[in-house]
A and B are shown apart, each in its own frame.
Chain A
Amino acid sequence: MIVFDKPKALADVPFHYCPGCTHGIVHRLVAEAIDELGIEGKTVGIAPVGCSVMAYDYFNCDMIEAAHGRAPAVATGVKRSDPDNLIVFTYQGDGDLASIGTAETVHAAARNENITIIFINNAIYGMTGGQMAPTSLPGQVTQTSPYGRDVKLCGYPVKVCEMLSELEGPEYLERVTVNSVANVRKAKKAIKKAFQNQIEGKGFSLVEVISSCPTNWGMTPKEALKWIDDNMVPYYPLGVYKDRSAGIGPAVKKEAE
């Protein structure tokens, strides 16, 4: 008999996420990776400020709740407290990672800090009710860009994987999404690799997950998944942006030259 169990690393509590939100899927993928690698007992997760602020209740490994944007710095501290025995991951949204925490993100990457970052990019501030994010698309209507994001007024979105791929530091950067079964499988593979890299001591591994926010996008869950294909993915192309071990990425090429 095949039973669709909850991963062991995922706590048996109801999540607070909105219907159709993809946080639940990504949580599950992280927990599956932890289970399959057998690392729950040595893993410490860092929750951000944003919709996933209460992720500390959802994972069975030790958890820390960080200040807004500071998770990579907190993770740096935790990892360096016991680098040989702890596996450390952060789980952050776009406002947390790419706006208020840009410096912490860039410098953890530049140091090739041996941590794993799961980056949820849904182009909006969810928890505070739908404001413009650093990754909101040009023209995207939000509570604080009611006439659509005007790039003359507030600039262009931050493409995190592209930006970080120019650094020599990071080991692995991949952008995935979870709006179809096939894409979920690819996302799972990337997330597991990001943990595996840490186990092998390879260094900074970040997986950007293009996610949906039906509530604040003002769509049904199904429409939201389609909006990812139609609008998000064309702007944020999926794929591996850097994989030093596999020789992929602009910074890798420069080193080789």
Chain B
Amino acid sequence: MADKVLMKGNEAIAEAAIQAGCRHYFGYPITPQTEIAAYMAKRMPKIGGTFLQAESEIAAINMVYGVSAAGKRVMTSSSSPGISLKSEGLSYLAGADLPALVVNAQRGGPGLGGIQPSQSDYFQATRGGGHGDYHMIVLAPSSVQEMADLTIKGFELADQYRMTAMILADGTIGQMMEPVSFDFEVKEQVEKPWATTGTKMQRKHNVVNSLYLNPEQLEEMNNERYRKYDVIKENEALCEEYLTEDADIIIAAFGIAARVSKNAVNKARENGIKVGLLRPITLWPFPEKVFAKHAKHVREMISVELSMGQMIEDVRLAVNCSVPVSLCYRVGGMIPTPDQVYSAIVEANARGGK
């Protein structure tokens, strides 16, 4: 335990970002993620970094766009309503193929909604959020340690593929404290010859742009981007498997929902029900292959979500509707209890599937 400290999930993200070499943070206050800004405000001036409280989420994401264009690691964070405001910038980052790390500590919606935890921005995150054909790499931590680990991974993937990586967390994981270790290796940052760092009169000018008035050219830009997405789908999908090998029933859940579900799975196992858990760590790319593999031996899957049923659509697509997929959910800032999930397991077991 020597090197472990107790830290809030939000603070773990901030510290990990600094360790990943991020020296620029821009944000706007919103509950429940403000600890990230507070941490950055304290630390950045001491390490020669920049913390700037922007006038809006829109300005913050565009400041991110500027730093990213100039080739440096940069991040912003917000919560659901703020991410909606940032969505314009997310689309432009995608269109200009710029890397960035964006954190969404989700709260209940729509509209101003509430400030308690939610997972109802799943569609927004996994489908891109803004206008146009694009994706972000979406990482879903379910512990404080993963908040840190996936922040590092997010920066690395963002740079490697020149796109935005989003940490899709929620109020609970952001606010809770758990032991966390920062004992990880950070890979050397990749070269960014495309960055607008000044020509130094030694090369042709670099242009960071998402405008293509020629439709053929714009089509090719989109096709090229989607070829990149194919590579990511092939190589970067991550999923935790828990007691799935002999399972008759499988729970699909991410983030806080997965932690609740694990309690329920353990209880069901104690009572002789063969149930397992698949916890997608990447929501985009969705770990389709793992789901397809287990679809062959399970009778039913249950998607446990803090939404009206969003990830369930990806589960159904992944199993190609070959097994029934049911939904167990709470919304509005409510969290399913282990007992609620357990009841869903018992009911699914009684139905007997196919």
Chains A, B in direct contact (C-beta < 8 Å):
yes
Binding site for B on A (CB under 8 A): 40-44, 46, 53-54, 56-57, 59-67, 70, 73-82, 85-86, 103-104, 106-107
- What would 5 more interface pairs be, CB under 8 Å, given A63-B205, A67-B62? A40-B201, A57-B207, A61-B199, A65-B207, A65-B208
Interface residue from A42, A44, A81 paired with B72 (Cβ < 8 Å): A81
Q: Across the interface, name the chain B residue whose C-beta is closest to A60.
A: B205
CA distance A71 to B24 in the complex (A): 18
**Interface flag for B70 (CB, 8 Å):** yes
- Specify the chain B residue showing the minimal Cβ separation from A62: B196
Give Cα A79 to B26, complex, Å: 14
* Complex interface: chain B residues within 8 A of A56 (CB): 207, 209
CB pair A78 B207 closer than 8 Å: no
Q: Which residue on chain A has the smallest CB distance to residue B49?
A: A80
A-contacting residues of B (Cβ < 8 Å)?
24, 26, 50, 52, 54-56, 58-60, 62-72, 74, 88-89, 92, 96, 196-202, 205-211
Q: Using Cβ atoms and an 8 Å threshold, which residues of chain A touch B62?
A: 66-67, 70, 73-74, 77, 104
Contact yes or no, B26 A77, CB < 8 A: yes
- The reply to whether A81 and B71 contact each other, CB–CB distance below 8 Å, is yes
How far does the Cβ of B106 sit from chain A's closest Cβ, in whole Å? 24
Check if A64 sits within 8 Å of B56, measured CB to CB.
no
Does B92 contact A67, Cβ atoms closer than 8 Å?
yes
- A113, closest chain B residue (CB): B52
Which residues of A lie under 8 Å from residue B208 when comparing CB positions? 63-65
- Residues on the A chain within 8 Å of B55, using CB: 103-104, 106-107
- Decide if B59 touches A104 in the complex (CB within 8 Å): yes
Tally A-B pairs: CB < 8 A: 134
* Contact A86-B59, Cβ < 8 Å, known A44-B70, A77-B66: no
Closest to B56 in A: A103
Asked if B88 and A67 sit within 8 Å, CB to CB, the answer is yes
With A67-B62, A74-B69 in contact, is A41–B88 under 8 Å at CB? no
Task: Select from chain B the residue with minimum beta-carbon distance to A110.
Answer: B55
A119, B156: Cα distance in complex, Å: 38
Which residues of A lie under 8 Å from residue B205 when comparing CB positions? 59-63
Q: Are B202 and A103 in contact (CB under 8 A)?
A: no
Given A85-B198, A103-B59, are A78 and B70 neighbors across the interface (CB < 8 Å)?
yes
Q: Which residues of B contact A85 (CB under 8 A)?
A: 198
Question: Could you show 29 A-B contacts with beta carbons less than 8 Å apart?
Answer: A53-B211, A54-B211, A60-B205, A61-B199, A61-B205, A62-B197, A62-B207, A63-B205, A63-B207, A65-B207, A67-B89, A67-B92, A73-B58, A73-B60, A73-B62, A73-B63, A74-B63, A77-B66, A77-B68, A77-B70, A78-B196, A80-B24, A80-B50, A80-B63, A81-B66, A81-B72, A85-B198, A86-B198, A104-B62
B132 → A minimal CB distance (Å): 12
CA gap between A40 and B202 in the complex, in Å: 11
User: Do A82 and B201 touch (CB < 8 A)?
Assistant: no
- Given contacts A53-B211, A104-B59, A78 and B66 within 8 Å (CB-CB): yes
Measured between beta carbons, the chain A residues less than 8 angstroms from B65 are 64, 66-67, 70, 73-74, 77
